Amino acid sequence: MAEKRKTTRYSSVNIDGVKYRTLLTDKFKARVKHKEKDPNKVLAFIPGTIVEVLTKKGKKVKEGDVLLILDAMKMRNTIVAPHDGIVKRILVKENEVVSKNQLMIEVE
């Protein structure tokens, strides 16, 4: 009778230039991969309602300029420009309900 042999599949992980051999779970392999944040996109960090849009398309903004007001959980949050640039697109309007991570404004 032929004996079946189970082979273990190790994966290599490189951490700070050191290579390690390890076993990865199926859950870890199926995880959502991390994506770098695009600094030109302003996303809603919490679900809420747009109270006021304080900018318009084509307007020059400086880092920290207030772009809009987002009301979430009875608190008004000021959403500011992430860097100096020009407002490329405004994808929300006043009284619109936004979900978490929804794209609101693009700044180039």
Q: Identify whether the C-beta of residue 100 lies closer than 8 Å to the C-beta of residue 45.
A: yes
Q: What is the mean pLDDT of residues 80-102?
A: 94
Structure token pair of residue 99: 């979900």
Distance CA 103, CA 9 (A): 40
> Which CATH class for the 41-107 domain?
mainly beta
- Beta strand 18-22 with 11-15 is antiparallel
| Model confidence at 6: pLDDT above 70 | no
Which residue reads 């390890």 in tokens?
22
CB atoms within 10 A of CB 27: 7
Taking only the tens place, the pLDDT of each residue in 21-65 is 888 888 888 888 888 888 899 999 999 999 999 999 999 999 999
Distance CA 100, CA 71 (A): 13
CB atoms within 10 A of CB 31: 9
pTM across the whole model: 0.66
Per domain, the residue ranges of the chain are 41-107
Q: Which residue has the higher pLDDT, 14 or 4?
A: 14
